[in-house]
C-alpha cells in the first residue's frame, strides 16, 4: 500500500472523527472538589505578601477587561489555572490539593498542560498534541514562567538558554566556530522552530525547511535559470544550521563535500591530498574558498552562461 | 517524613492522573457563581514603570569575529543604552524594549493594545555580520555594478608577475549589516474571530566574497550586497471550544538592487588559453523573486477515541522574471541571441499535512501523521548556448533543468503506559520521494523505532530510544548520470541507498529535596551507504552532553556543563574515472566545557555572576591515493575561551550600577587560509583572508535607573 492510498484512508478516518459527537474536554470524571467562595480574595488573604504570587498581576493573565483572561469578568481568577481551591483552603493551604506548575509540582505534566490548553487551544495548542514536546511530556511551565512580567523564553536574547536546558546538543552546536548568532542572543530558536508543535517537519515555522531558511536568505530562493538540485530540495543537504566546524556551517570541508556528489573526469575527481600544505603550496583547489573560488554560484545562477554555476 | 511526603506525592499524582482523563481538566467541577468574586485584594497594575541602563564600554582590540552579531568589532569606546518598560491602564498596555542602542546590533520594540480587542507592535533591529577584517583587494568600485583595477595595474599571467599588486592593495573588510523593520497588528472583533497582519522588511547592505573566474584563473572579489526582502503574514482565525480554523496569506518579495556585476580581469591575455577581449567578466547577481502562499490550517478535538486532529494545507507560487544578461560581455564573441529576454520562472508548491492523536483508553495513545510536499517547477525548458567564462563559445546547446519533486511522509506511533513509572513507545515512519531530472526517480525510506521512558520517582527520568531505517531507490540511472559526465559508479549521498541505525539515552535527575540536578545525553547514529562504490560510503556520529547544577541556597547556584562530539565520514573517489582509486576520511571533533555561578543579594546590595566557556573544534582529513598512499592534512583547529563576569550593585531603590567584564580569545588553524596572501596561488588572486585569531577584553560600566511607578487599584 503506497502513501497515497494510506493518505486516502487517513482522510476518511479524519472525516469520521470530525463527524462524531461529543467533546474530548468535557469529561466529568474526577473528584468533586469545590471552588473557593470568593475567588482570588481568598487566595490573597494568605498569599498577598508572596511576591511570586503577586507577579501574576504584571502579566496578560491578570487583565480584568479581557473576558478571556483568568481575571476577566466572571472568570475563575486564580482557580482558572490552579483548579478548584476549596479543599486547599479548607485544609489550611495543603499544597498538594491545588494544581501547581513546574518541575516541583506534584501534578502530572498532562494535568498541568491541560490547564493551559483549555484556553490556548487555537493559537498555541494547534498542533501541540502529538508534537515532540507533547510526546516527551514537557510541561508548559517547564519553559514558561507564568508569574513574572518578563518570561525569559519570550525574549530573543534569553530564549535559547532555556531551550538548552533540554537540548544540550544544540547548546554545543551554538559554540562551534560557525553558527547562527544564538550565543550572542541575537537570534531565537523560535525564529525557525515552533516549540508548540506544527504539522511541518522538525516543527519549522514555514511549510518546508527551505522556506524557513528563505525568510532571511531569500536571495537563494530563485527559481534560477540554472538550479543546483540539492539546493532546490533541501538546504540541509550541505549545511548544518545549528553549527559546524566549517565556514558557512557546511557539513564537511570542501572539496570533499562537493566530491561526495561530483565525480566528473578532470578536477572534480582528483584526490587532493596534503602534498604542499606544509610549505603553503598545495593544490589551488584546496585553498581560499576551494571549489567556490570559481563555482561561486552554488545556490543557483541566473546567467545564461551560468550552467556550471560560475557566473 | 520523607517517606510520608513521597506517599503523599504518589497518591496525589495518581489521583491527578485518574482525574485528568488525559485531555480533560483536573477534577471537572460545576462552575461556581462568580458574581461576588470582586478581587478587592488584587493589585492590578496601572501606571508606568521601567528601567534605563546607560553606560560605556571599552573594547581592547579589533576583531571581526568577535564583533559578528555583537557589534563590538573595533577597538575603542562604545556608548550604550538598554532599557525596558511598560504602561498599563484599564486594559490598555504598552511595552517597550531597547537593547544595545549604541551598537550595530541595536534592537528597539514596542508592543501594546487593549487585550482581548486589539494589539500592535513595531520593531527595529540590526544585525551586523562581520566576516573578515584581514582582507585586501586591488579592485575599487565604479558605480554600483563594476569593480575596476587601478590605472597603474600591471596584468600578468600569474599572480607573481603582478608587479603593482602590493601598491594596489587596499584594506577592505568583508561585512554587512542587516536592518529589519517590522510592524503588525491583530484585531479581535469577537471572541470567535481574530484578524492579524504582520509586515517585515529586511535590508541587507555590505560586501561578500565572490569568486570571479576566467578560463584558467580566478579572482576573489568584493561583491556588493544590496538586498531587500519584504514579508507579509496576514490572516483570519475562527475558533470554537472544539478547535479552530485559520486562513493565512504569506508573501515574500526579494529585491536585489544589483542587476549585474562587471569586473576587470587582473590577469593578462594569454593567447594559448583565451580570446581577445577576455579582459572583463560579468556575473548575474541573485535575481528579484517573490513567493506567495495561502494556508488553511485547523485543529479539532473529537470525542471519538479521545482524538485531536490538526491539519494544514498550503498552496504557494514562486516567480522570477528578471531580465537576463547576454551570454557574454566579451565583444569579440558573436554570441547567439537568448531564447527569451527573461526566464519567467515559476514554481508551484503544495504542502498538505494532518495529524491525528487518539487516546483510545487511559494508558494508550496512538498517533498518525501524514505530510505531502510538492515542488513543481513549471519553468519552460529551453535550449541555451553558453560562453565559458566569457572566453569560449560552446558548440552544443543545453537545456535548463527545472527540478521538481514530491515527498510524502507517514508516521505511525503508539505510546503505552505499562506501569505508572514506565511508558513504552514504538513507531513506524515511511517516506516516499519522487524526483525528476535526477539519477534517482523514486526513493523510499522505512524506519522503525522504539522508546522506553522510566520514571521510577518524580525526580529521576531515564529515556532510551533506538531504531533503524532503510532508504531504498528504484534504480540509479547510470545512463542519466553519464549524460552529466558523472562516473557511473558514483552514488550521490542524498539519492543513494542508505541503512541507518540510531540510538539515544537521556538520564535526568532533579530531586525536589536536594538542590542538585544532573542530566546526561548520549546519541549515536551510523549511516551506511552499502551500495555506493563511489561517493560517501559511511558516516558515524557520536555525541555526549552533560549538565550539573547545584542550587546552594535560594541566592547562590553553580553549574558545570560540557559536551563531546565526533562525526566521521568515509568517501571514495576515482581519478581514472573507473573503480575507486582514492579514499578520504573526514572527522569532525568538538569538545566544549563551561561553568559558572550566580550569587544574588550579597549584603542585599550585590549580585554577582560569572560564566566561563571553552570550545575546541578539530577536523582531521586523510586522503589516501595510490598504493599505500596516506596523506594526513594538518588538523583544522579552533579554540574559543570566553569569560563573562557581571556585578550589579544596588545603589538605592532607584539606581543600580552594573560592571561587566568580558574576555574572549579565539584562535584557528586553517591551511586553506593560513599564509595565503593575495599572490600565494599563481592562478587565483585572493583577498588574503586569514584564520581568526583574536584576544579581546571588554570592560563596561553602566547605571540602571528605575523609572516610573506602578500603582495597585
Is the model's pTM score more than 0.95? no
- Domain-terminating residue out of A148, A177, A197: A148
Residue B664 vs residues A185, A274, B363, B603: alpha-carbon distances, Å: 16, 32, 52, 30
Contacts of A3 in chain B (CB under 8 A): 370, 372, 408-410, 430, 432
Contacts of B712 in chain A (CB under 8 A): 57
Is B588's CB within 8 Å of A244's CB? yes
CA distance, residue B117 to nearest chain A CA (Å): 8
| A305 → closest Cβ in B351, B387, B592 | B387
The answer to whether residue B396 neighbours chain A at the CB level (below 8 Å) is no
Q: What is the pLDDT of residue A131?
A: 92
The answer to whether residue B427 neighbours chain A at the CB level (below 8 Å) is no
Res A24 pLDDT > 50: no
Is A77's CB within 8 Å of B37's CB? yes
Q: Phi and psi for A220 in degrees, rounded to 5? A: -95, 5
CB pairs under 8 A between A and B: 584
The answer to whether residue A269 neighbours chain B at the CB level (below 8 Å) is yes
Residue A236 vs residues A230, A239, B635: alpha-carbon distances, Å: 9, 5, 25
| A303 → closest Cβ in B283, B375, B581 | B283
> Is the residue at A34 inside a domain?
no
Res A284 pLDDT > 50: yes
pLDDT in tens, B475-517: 999 999 999 999 999 999 999 999 999 999 999 998 777 789 9
A15, A26, A30: best to mutate for the B interface, most B CBs within 10 A: A30
Is B299's CB within 8 Å of A246's CB? no
B10, B103, B132, B308: best to mutate for the A interface, most A CBs within 10 A: B308
Is B672's CB within 8 Å of A290's CB? yes
User: Which residues 40-59 of A have a C-beta within 8 angstroms of B?
Assistant: 40-41, 44-45, 48, 54, 57-58
Residue of B nearest to A31 (CA): B27
Q: Are B383 and B398 in contact (CB under 8 A)?
A: yes
Domain that residue B634 falls in: 552-713
User: Which residues 204-263 of B have a C-beta within 8 angstroms of A?
Assistant: 209-213, 218, 220, 227, 229, 231, 237, 239, 241-244, 246, 250, 252, 254, 256
Give the confidence band of A121 by pLDDT, cuts at 50, 70, 90: confident
* B82: Cα within 13 Å, side-chain hemisphere: 15
Average pLDDT over residues B145-167: 95
Question: 3-state DSSP call for residue B18?
Answer: helix
> Is the residue at B601 inside a domain?
yes
Q: What is the pLDDT of residue B8?
A: 35
Res A54 pLDDT > 60: yes
Q: Which residue has the higher pLDDT, A25 or B345?
A: B345
> Is the residue at B271 inside a domain?
no
Residue of A nearest to B50 (CA): A149
Average pLDDT over residues B245-274: 90
> Is the residue at B688 inside a domain?
yes
Is A304's CB within 8 Å of B327's CB? yes
Q: What is the pLDDT of residue B276?
A: 67
Work out the number of other CB atoms within 10 angstroms of the CB of residue B185: 16
Q: What is the pLDDT of residue A247?
A: 97
* B611: Cα within 13 Å, side-chain hemisphere: 10
> Which residues neighbour B659 within 8 Å (Cβ) at sequence distance 6 or greater?
B646, B647, B649, B700, B701
- A177, A178, A183, A184: CA torsion to nearest 10: 110
ipTM of the prediction: 0.93
Average pLDDT over residues B214-220: 92
DSSP string, B246-302: EEEEEEEEEEES-S-EEEE--BPP-TTT--TTTTEEEE-PPPPEEEEEEEEEEEEEE
Buried b / exposed e along B633-649 (16+ C-beta atoms within 10 A): beebbbbbebbbebbbb
> Is the residue at A308 inside a domain?
no
The answer to whether residue A174 neighbours chain B at the CB level (below 8 Å) is no
Average pLDDT over residues A191-203: 94
Task: Give chain B's mean pLDDT.
Answer: 92
pLDDT in tens, B566-621: 999 999 999 999 999 999 999 999 999 999 999 999 999 999 999 999 999 999 99
> Considering only CA atoms, which of B240, B306, B312, B412 is closest in space to residue A17?
B306
Give the confidence band of B270 by pLDDT, cuts at 50, 70, 90: low
CA distance, residue A195 to nearest chain B CA (Å): 15
Indicate the number of domains in chain B.
Answer: 1
CA distance, residue A89 to nearest chain B CA (Å): 16
Average pLDDT over residues B694-700: 98
For chain B, give the percent of residues with pLDDT over 70: 94
Is A67's CB within 8 Å of B291's CB? no
- Domain-terminating residue out of A90, A125, A148: A148
Work out the number of other CB atoms within 10 angstroms of the CB of residue A219: 21
Res B443 pLDDT > 90: yes
Res B116 pLDDT > 80: yes
Res B631 pLDDT > 80: yes
Q: Are B256 and B208 in contact (CB under 8 A)?
A: no
Query: What does the alpha-carbon distance between residue B700 and residue B57 come to, in Å, rounded to a whole number?
Result: 4
- A93, A97, A101, A102: CA torsion to nearest 10: 90
Average pLDDT over residues A72-84: 93
Query: What does the alpha-carbon distance between residue B327 and residue B391 come to, in Å, rounded to a whole number?
Result: 11
> Is the residue at B171 inside a domain?
no
Q: What is the pLDDT of residue B433?
A: 97
Q: What is the pLDDT of residue A118?
A: 86
pLDDT in tens, B37-79: 989 999 998 999 999 999 999 999 999 999 999 999 999 999 9
B65, B211, B571: best to mutate for the A interface, most A CBs within 10 A: B211
Among B19-23, B87-91, B417-421, B427-431, which range has the highest average pLDDT? Answer: B427-431
Average pLDDT over residues B559-563: 97
Q: What is the pLDDT of residue A126?
A: 77
> Is the residue at A262 inside a domain?
yes
Res B368 pLDDT > 50: yes
> Which residues neighbour B361 within 8 Å (Cβ) at sequence distance 6 or greater?
none
Query: What does the alpha-carbon distance between residue B109 and residue A260 come to, in Å, rounded to a whole number?
Result: 45
Shared domain check, A143 and A60: yes
Give the confidence band of A273 by pLDDT, cuts at 50, 70, 90: very high
Average pLDDT over residues B107-118: 96
| A207 → closest Cβ in B293, B624, B689 | B293
Give the confidence band of A144 by pLDDT, cuts at 50, 70, 90: very high
For chain B, give the percent of residues with pLDDT over 90: 84
> Is the residue at B690 inside a domain?
yes
> Is the residue at A46 inside a domain?
no
- Report residue B42 as a C-alpha cell: 488584587
CA distance, residue A145 to nearest chain B CA (Å): 17
Give the confidence band of A9 by pLDDT, cuts at 50, 70, 90: low
Contacts of B297 in chain A (CB under 8 A): 126, 199
Q: What is the pLDDT of residue B711?
A: 47
> Is the residue at B683 inside a domain?
yes
Q: What is the pLDDT of residue A26?
A: 35
Is B673's CB within 8 Å of A288's CB? yes
Average pLDDT over residues B198-220: 95
Is B680's CB within 8 Å of A281's CB? yes
What does DSSP say about strands B76-89 and B498-510: parallel, antiparallel, or unpaired? unpaired
Query: What does the alpha-carbon distance between residue A204 and residue B310 come to, in Å, rounded to a whole number?
Result: 15
Q: What is the pLDDT of residue B22?
A: 32
pLDDT in tens, B509-548: 987 777 899 999 999 999 999 999 999 999 999 999 999 9
What does DSSP say about strands B218-239 and B684-685: parallel, antiparallel, or unpaired? parallel
Domain that residue A99 falls in: 53-148
For chain A, give the percent of residues with pLDDT over 70: 90
Res B20 pLDDT > 80: no
Query: What does the alpha-carbon distance between residue A55 and residue A102 come to, in Å, rounded to a whole number?
Result: 16
Residue pointed to by grid coordinates 479521545? B306
* B468: Cα within 13 Å, side-chain hemisphere: 5
Q: What is the pLDDT of residue B197?
A: 98
Is B29's CB within 8 Å of A32's CB? yes
Task: Give chain A's mean pLDDT.
Answer: 89
User: Which residues 6-25 of A have a C-beta within 8 angstroms of B?
Assistant: 6-7, 10-11, 13-14, 16-18, 20-25
Torsion sign over Cα B698, B703, B704, B707: negative
User: Which residues 46-65 of B have a C-beta within 8 angstroms of A?
Assistant: none
Is A7's CB within 8 Å of B415's CB? no
Cis before B17? omega within 30? no
> Is the residue at A45 inside a domain?
no
Q: What is the pLDDT of residue B281?
A: 95
> Is the residue at B285 inside a domain?
no
Q: What is the pLDDT of residue B582?
A: 96
| A221 → closest Cβ in B220, B291, B692 | B291
Is B403's CB within 8 Å of A233's CB? yes
Average pLDDT over residues B643-671: 97
Q: What is the pLDDT of residue B127?
A: 98
Is B615's CB within 8 Å of A311's CB? no
| A41 → closest Cβ in B17, B39, B615 | B39
Partnered with residue B409 across adjacent β-strands are B371, B431
The answer to whether residue A221 neighbours chain B at the CB level (below 8 Å) is yes
Q: Which residue has the higher pLDDT, B568 or B14?
A: B568
pLDDT in tens, B384-410: 999 999 988 888 899 999 999 999 999
Indicate the number of domains in chain A.
Answer: 2
Average pLDDT over residues B652-675: 97
User: Which residues 224-263 of A have a C-beta within 8 angstroms of B?
Assistant: 224-227, 229-230, 232-234, 237, 244-246, 252-253, 256, 259-263
Q: What is the pLDDT of residue A8?
A: 55
The answer to whether residue B42 neighbours chain A at the CB level (below 8 Å) is yes
> Is the residue at B681 inside a domain?
yes
Amino acid at each position: 500500500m503506497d502513501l497515497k492510498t494510506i493518505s486516502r484512508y487517513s482522510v476518511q478516518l479524519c472525516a469520521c472523527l470530525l463527524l462524531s459527537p461529543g467533546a474530548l474536554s468535557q469529561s466529568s470524571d474526577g473528584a468533586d472538589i469545590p471552588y473557593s467562595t470568593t475567588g482570588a480574595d481568598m487566595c490573597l488573604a494568605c498569599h498577598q505578601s508572596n511576591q511570586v504570587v503577586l507577579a501574576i498581576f504584571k502579566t496578560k493573565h491578570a487583565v480584568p477587561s479581557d473576558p478571556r483572561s483568568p481575571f476577566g469578568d466572571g472568570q475563575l481568577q486564580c482557580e482558572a489555572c490552579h483548579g478548584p481551591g476549596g479543599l486547599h483552603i479548607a485544609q489550611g493551604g495543603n499544597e498538594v490539593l491545588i494544581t501547581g506548575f513546574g518541575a516541583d509540582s506534584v501534578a502530572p505534566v498532562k494535568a498541568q498542560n491541560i490547564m493551559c490548553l483549555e484556553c490556548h487551544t487555537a493559537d498555541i495548542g494547534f498542533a501541540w498534541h502529538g508534537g515532540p514536546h507533547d510526546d516527551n511530556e514537557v510541561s508548559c511551565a517547564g519553559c514558561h514562567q507564568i508569574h513574572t512580567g518578563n518570561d525569559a523564553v519570550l525574549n530573543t536574547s534569553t530564549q535559547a538558554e532555556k531551550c538548552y536546558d533540554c537540548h544540550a546538543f544544540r547548546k554545543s552546536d551554538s559554540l562551534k566556530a560557525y553558527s547562527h548568532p544564538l550565543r550572542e542572543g541575537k537570534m531565537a530558536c523560535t525564529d525557525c522552530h515552533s516549540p508548540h508543535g506544527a504539522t511541518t517537519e522538525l516543527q519549522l515555522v514555514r511549510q518546508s525547511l527551505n522556506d524557513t531558511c528563505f525568510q532571511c536568505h531569500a536571495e537563494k530562493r530563485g527559481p534560477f535559470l540554472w538550479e543546483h538540485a540539492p539546493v532546490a530540495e533541501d538546504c540541509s543537504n550541505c549545511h548544518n544550521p545549528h553549527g559546524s566546524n566549517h565556514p558557512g556551517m557546511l557539513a564537511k570541508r570542501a572539496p570533499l563535500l562537493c566530491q561526495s556528489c561530483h565525480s566528473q573526469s578532470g578536477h572534480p575527481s582528483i584526490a587532493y591530498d596534503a602534498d604542499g600544505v606544509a610549505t603553503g603550496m598545495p593544490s589551488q583547489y584546496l585553498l581560499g574558498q576551494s571549489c567556490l573560488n570559481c563555482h561561486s554560484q552554488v545556490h543557483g545562477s541566473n546567467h545564461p552562461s551560468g550552467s556550471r554555476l560560475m557566473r | 517524613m520523607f517517606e510520608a511526603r513521597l506517599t503523599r506525592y504518589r497518591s496525589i499524582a495518581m489521583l491527578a492522573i485518574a482525574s485528568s482523563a488525559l485531555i480533560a481538566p483536573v477534577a471537572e467541577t460545576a462552575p461556581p457563581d462568580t458574581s461576588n468574586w470582586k478581587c478587592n485584594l488584587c493589585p492590578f497594575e496601572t501606571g508606568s514603570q521601567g528601567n534605563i541602563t546607560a553606560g560605556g564600554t571599552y573594547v581592547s582590540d579589533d576583531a571581526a569575529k568577535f564583533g559578528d552579531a555583537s557589534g563590538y568589532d573595533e577597538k575603542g569606546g562604545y556608548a550604550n543604552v538598554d532599557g525596558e518598560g511598560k504602561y498599563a491602564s484599564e486594559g490598555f498596555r504598552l511595552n517597550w524594549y531597547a537593547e544595545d542602542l549604541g551598537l550595530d546590533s541595536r534592537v528597539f520594540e514596542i508592543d501594546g493594545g487593549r487585550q482581548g480587542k486589539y494589539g500592535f507592535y513595531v520593531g527595529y533591529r540590526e544585525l551586523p555580520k562581520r566576516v573578515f577584517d584581514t582582507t585586501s583587494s586591488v579592485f575599487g568600485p565604479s558605480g554600483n555594478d563594476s569593480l575596476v583595477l587601478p590605472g597603474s595595474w600591471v596584468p600578468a599571467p600569474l599572480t607573481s608577475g603582478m608587479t603593482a599588486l602590493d601598491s594596489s592593495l587596499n584594506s577592505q573588510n568583508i561585512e554587512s549589516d542587516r536592518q529589519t523593520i517590522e510592524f503588525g497588528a491583530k484585531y479581535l472583533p469577537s471572541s470567535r474571530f481574530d484578524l492579524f497582519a504582520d509586515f517585515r522588511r529586511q535590508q541587507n547592505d555590505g560586501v561578500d566574497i565572490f569568486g570571479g573566474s576566467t578560463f584558467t584563473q580566478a579572482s576573489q572579489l568584493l561583491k556588493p550586497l544590496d538586498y531587500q526582502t519584504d514579508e507579509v503574514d496576514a490572516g483570519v482565525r475562527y475558533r470554537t471550544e472544539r478547535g479552530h480554523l485559520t486562513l493565512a496569506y504569506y508573501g515574500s518579495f526579494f529585491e536585489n538592487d544589483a542587476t549585474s556585476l562587471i569586473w576587470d580581469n587582473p590577469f593578462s591575455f594569454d593567447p594559448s588559453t583565451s580570446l581577445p577581449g577576455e579582459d572583463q567578466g560579468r556575473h548575474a547577481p541573485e535575481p528579484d523573486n517573490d513567493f506567495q502562499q495561502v494556508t488553511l490550517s485547523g485543529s479539532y478535538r473529537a470525542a471519538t477515541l479521545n482524538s485531536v486532529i490538526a491539519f494544514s494545507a498550503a498552496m504557494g507560487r514562486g516567480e522570477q522574471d528578471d531580465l537576463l544578461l547576454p551570454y557574454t560581455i566579451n565583444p569579440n564573441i558573436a554570441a547567439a541571441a537568448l531564447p527569451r529576454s527573461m526566464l519567467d520562472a515559476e514554481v508551484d508548491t503544495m504542502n498538505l499535512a494532518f495529524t491525528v492523536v487518539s487516546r483510545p483508553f487511559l494508558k494508550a495513545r496512538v498517533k498518525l501523521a501524514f505530510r505531502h510536499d510538492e515542488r513543481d517547477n513549471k519553468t519552460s525548458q529551453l535550449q541555451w548556448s553558453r560562453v565559458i567564462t566569457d572566453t569560449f563559445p560552446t558548440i552544443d546547446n543545453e537545456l535548463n533543468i527545472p527540478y521538481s519533486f514530491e515527498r510524502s511522509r507517514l508516521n505511525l506511533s503508539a505510546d503505552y503506559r505499562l506501569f505508572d513509572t514506565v511508558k513504552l513507545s514504538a513507531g513506524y515512519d515511511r517516506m516516499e520521494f519522487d524526483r525528476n531530472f535526477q539519477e534517482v526517480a523514486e526513493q523510499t525510506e522505512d524506519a522503525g523505532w522504539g522508546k522506553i521512558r522510566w520514571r521510577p520517582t518524580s525526580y529521576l527520568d531515564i529515556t532510551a530510544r533506538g531504531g533503524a531505517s532503510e532508504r531504498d531507490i528504484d534504480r540509479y540511472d547510470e545512463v542519466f548520470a553519464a549524460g552529466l559526465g558523472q562516473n557511473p559508479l558514483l552514488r550521490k549521498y542524498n539519492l543513494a541507498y542508505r541503512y541507518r541505525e540510531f540510538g539515544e539515552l537521556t538520564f535526568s535527575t532533579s530531586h525536589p529535596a536536594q538542590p542538585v540536578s544532573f542530566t546526561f545525553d548520549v546519541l549515536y547514529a551510523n549511516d551506511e551507504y552499502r551500495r555506493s562504490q563511489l561517493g560517501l560510503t559511511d558516516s558515524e556520529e557520536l555525541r555526549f552532553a552533560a549538565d550539573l547544577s547545584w542550587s546552594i541556597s535560594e541566592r547562590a547556584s553553580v553549574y558545570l556543563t560540557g559536551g563531546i562530539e565526533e562525526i566521521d565520514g568515509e568517501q571514495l573517489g576515482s581519478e581514472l574515472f573507473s573503480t575507486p582509486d582514492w579514499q578520504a576520511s573526514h572527522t569532525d571533533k568538538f569538545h566544549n566545557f563551561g561553568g559558572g555561578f550566580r550569587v544574588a543579594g550579597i549584603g542585599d546590595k550585590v549580585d554577582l555572576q560569572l560564566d566561563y566557556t571553552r570550545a575546541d573544534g578539530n577536523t582531521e582529513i586523510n586522503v589516501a591515493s595510490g598504493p599505500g598512499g596516506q596523506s594526513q592534512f594538518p588538523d583544522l583547529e579552533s579554540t574559543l575561551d570566553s569569560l563573562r563576569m557581571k556585578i550589579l550593585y544596588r545603589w538605592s531603590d532607584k539606581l543600580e550600577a552594573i560592571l561587566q567584564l568580558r574576555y574572549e580569545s579565539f584562535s584557528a588553524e586553517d591551511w586553506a587560509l593560513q599564509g595565503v596572501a593575495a599572490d600565494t596561488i599563481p592562478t587565483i588572486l585572493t583577498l588574503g583572508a586569514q584564520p581568526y585569531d583574536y584576544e579581546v577584553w571588554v570592560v563596561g560600566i553602566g547605571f540602571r535607573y528605575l523609572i516610573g511607578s506602578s500603582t495597585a487599584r
